[in-house]
Chain A
Amino acid sequence: MRILALIAKRLVWFVPTAAGLIAVVFFISRVIPSDPVALLAGETASREAIETLRIKLGLDRPLLVQLLDYYRQLSRGDLGTSLFTTRPVSEDLLARLPATIELTLAAMLIAVVIGIPLGVISATRRNSPIDHGLRILTVGGLAIASFWLALVLQLTFAMKLGLLPLQGRITGFPPPAATGFMTIDALLAGRWDRLASALAHLTLPAVTLAVPALATVVRFTRAGVLDTLGKPFVTYQDAIGIPHALIVWKYVLRNALTSTVTQIGLLFGILLAGAVVIETVFQWPGIGTYAFESILQSDYAGVMGFTVYAGGIFMLANLLVDIAHGIIDPRGGRT
């Protein structure tokens, strides 16, 4: 029941926040100096033809009216039609969404599976060489420009060493489409060669994307564990002879994670932001490249659609995090 109340609260907040976000980007995108309508109409179009097209597209009305219209449109689930691909934006985004999610999940997996144990080790061996080394690495990880790291990795592993592919999602024909996740699709079809190719292609982008996220996870886990280690129940369990490894990995970790879990929502923001640039560098056909292309082509609908999507994903991630927090910490109140 608590969980339902949580979901309801999040959804209630989603609407005005999303509306505000859309309004902001909407106004910005409408202030574009170049005139895409003219571009659409073609080079030989006359002034009247351009104006007719503009009226037909509804772009001559006052901005506020256009905004309200957009809201109405959104409530029907219609994200508009891309001015350049002439396909509905929602279709384009949906087609590209699995690619981004596959990449983001892979990066998240790397960050969490490696990051949490490293954070625990860093905290339990505080001020040891391992701890100092890890702290330097995490600060460094947050200081590297992700696009630069992408290039360096491409240079090393793809160009010089030839170990991993340069870009794209797969070499050759993709496996039969089922979920849109190439790795899972390949698995489902039993095509190991396709799986190998998909995984190879996924490696560099996922690792690059994971670096700042990994650094963040290590830092937060370390802080949370250090904080928990000072609590009296740790001393008590030690005094009554519970094995030390158990105290740390079963009990302390769970307490430390209650604060880390909320950071995972933050993590999603980092990953999403990174995805835009990294997808571009690796030619990864996700919503990040779509966003960039839309911006370059002044495609209003594309930009708006991406923003709504990004906002939506972010909110969903936060919701999932809240639920996870509710499970890990059964006390019910916010710490």
Chain B
Amino acid sequence: MSANPLLEVRDLRIGFATDSGVARVLDGVNLSVERGRIMGLVGESGCGKTTLARAVLGILAPNATTEGGAIRFDGQDLLGMPRDRLQREVRGRRIAFVPQDPYGAFNPLFRIGDQIMELMKWKSPLRDQGERGLGALLTPYPRARRRADRAAAIALLNEVQIPDPERALGKLPGQFSGGQRQRLMIAMALLTNPDLIIADEPTTALDVTIQAQILKLLRSLAKDRGVSVLLTTHDLGTAYEICDDITVMYAGQEVETAPVAEFFANPRHPYTAHLLASLPDPAREIQEIGGEIPSLLSPPTGCRFHPRCRSASAQCAAARPPVSGERQMVRCFHPQPLQQEARL
């Protein structure tokens, strides 16, 4: 979109080695996240959005192979960066992470306060990079900074509406509800003053009633601080609520990218159009998309949606469509025309 996005993924190709062969999970995906904006990465389960999010941080499973492409963050190449540098400089500090499962993410044996302060010991904005390796492990946590960090933590816990933060720090993770734990992780994500937060389906595991709260909280905190967010979700409603831009993925390929308003007003890719049409509407019957998600072990050639697409032609199977469009980008040989009756 712009000339200098904060995060830029170009033509990323990732495969997973399984017992039955190599699953082509990402097939040349492009993605851009602008500074200060919230990008929603939308798609059904298995479309590769989580893989993409994790690839940025380099926390993929051991059986994953990056076969090609580039990931650039603020001008730096993340794919080529040595692991320990990624660990020290980028993770937690410049790119923060909010995982999907609040129940598993905390170590159940250590107090919340200890786990938060562990993060701050290494990633606090007040820390200068200094030592590495064994020296760093043995250096104690300076008192003054610890006090300042603790105060910052308590302040942020207040902002995410955790009651009685002082006491909360002394509790075990098991003593918090799912929603509270998710808030804690959002707090931890913001404490280090990152430039980008990657939130991987942050509300999927929560009750519907809580979801909206958490999302709004995330959005307001991020906007206040000018932090970009890459949010993955399978729920269009979520995307509509808090995202500025949306990228839709299908079976390992991104198919459309647009700012939120344009996206919902004029979906251009047939898949996107179907997605929006399939949202339940009391005025009509439920509309579904015929067919099934393809297997990633032997996916369709070219545009992977073509077997289920009404507008498909021979061209679609032959090669993957290139990107077309400026503000609203779509990869399709037969995109929907721009004039479309307004929905929602």
Contact = CB atoms under 8 A, between A and B. Distances in A.
B190 to A, nearest CB: 12
Interface string B104-119: 1111111000000011
Classify the interface of chain A: helix, strand, loop or mixed.
Answer: helix
Interface string A229-258: 001110111111111111000010011001
Given A235-B59, A236-B97, A241 B109 contact: no
Contact of B91 (A241, A251, A255, A329): A241
Interface string B45-58: 00000000010010
Interface residues of B, number: 29
Contacts of A232: 99, 101, 104-105
Interface in A66-122: none
Contacts of B123: 240-241
B96 interface: yes
A251 to B, nearest CB: 5
A241 B123 CA distance: 8
B88 interface: yes
Contact of A331 (B57, B105, B108): B108
Interface string A134-158: 0000000000000000000000000
Contacts of A254: 109-110
Interface in B177-210: 188
B174 interface: yes
Most buried by B among A243, A245, A258: A243
A297 B107 CA distance: 57
Contact of B87 (A235, A236, A241): A241
Contacts of A237: 107
B125 to A, nearest CB: 13
Interface in A216-236: 231-233, 235-236
Interface residues of A, number: 23
Contacts of B88: 241, 243
Contacts of B104: 231-233, 236
B23 interface: no
B109 A240 contact: no
A40 to B, nearest CB: 59
A235 B101 CA distance: 11
A265 B107 CA distance: 25
A236 B108 CA distance: 13
Given A258-B109, A331-B109, A239 B119 contact: no
A330 interface: yes
Most buried by A among B99, B105, B122, B137: B105
Contacts of A258: 109
A328 to B, nearest CB: 7
Contacts of B99: 232, 235-236, 239
A166 B21 CA distance: 60
Contact of B119 (A242, A328, A330, A331): A242
Contacts of A241: 87-88, 90-93, 122-123
Contacts of B87: 238, 241, 243-244
Nearest to A245: B137
Nearest to A231: B104
Given A241-B93, A244-B87, A331-B174, A255 B59 contact: no
Most buried by B among A238, A245, A329: A238
Nearest to B194: A240
Nearest to B136: A243
B297 interface: no
Contacts of A236: 97, 99, 104-106
Nearest to B173: A233
A233 B136 CA distance: 23
A233 B105 contact: yes
B172 interface: yes
B122 A243 contact: yes
Given A238-B59, A239-B54, A246-B137, 16 more contacts: A232-B104, A233-B106, A236-B105, A236-B106, A237-B107, A239-B97, A240-B96, A240-B97, A240-B119, A254-B109, A255-B107, A255-B108, A258-B109, A330-B109, A331-B172, A331-B174
6 contacts: A233-B108, A235-B59, A235-B99, A241-B93, A255-B109, A331-B172
